[in-house]
Amino acid sequence: MSLPIFDWGRRSANLSANEERLAAAMASYEYAVQQALRETANALIADSHLRPQLEAQQARVQSLQRVAAISHTRFRNGLEDYFAGADARRELYIEQRQWIELQLKQAVNTVSLYKALGGGWEDAPAPVASAATAPR
């Protein structure tokens, strides 16, 4: 065994530096875990709020579709003027748009949940133009 007797504190300094690196790595890991748990909780809470909204909005759209169909039938039979049917369709389109926006929110929330749970999410690198396709 070959150890220098006098290393002027190099081994203890290396030990202290390694302990500091370990402490920093542990703190970084704890922060990452807390962040992931926070993002997961936020996504689950948002999902629990979005589901009832989506169901209610879908029911509203379906009822307005029936109203628009009835209004159109009444117009064809001469029982209602054109503007009543147009107003029913306008209201239907507004509610359909809100329903689509809610579906988009739910899809974005689902992606956020998968990302928070570590579902294989990797940011794609920016495409680099090759020399052959670069303008001259």
Expressed in angstroms, the distance from the first to the final Cα of the chain is 66
Whether the pTM exceeds 0.85: the reply is no
Neighbours of 72 (CB within 10 A): 17
Q: Which residues contact 110 (CB under 8 A, 6 or more apart)?
A: 43, 47
Residue 80's region, left for phi above 0, alpha for psi from -120 to 50, else beta, is beta
Residue 134: per-residue pLDDT: 52
pLDDT by position in tens, the chain (length 136): 556 666 666 777 788 889 999 999 999 999 988 988 998 999 999 999 999 999 999 999 999 999 999 999 999 999 999 999 999 999 999 999 999 999 999 999 999 888 888 776 666 676 766 555 555 4
Q: What is the DSSP string of 74-90?
A: HHHTTSS-HHHHHHHHH
Residue 133: per-residue pLDDT: 56
Alpha carbons 121 and 43: distance in angstroms, whole number: 16
DSSP assignment, residue 117?
T
Residue 95: per-residue pLDDT: 96
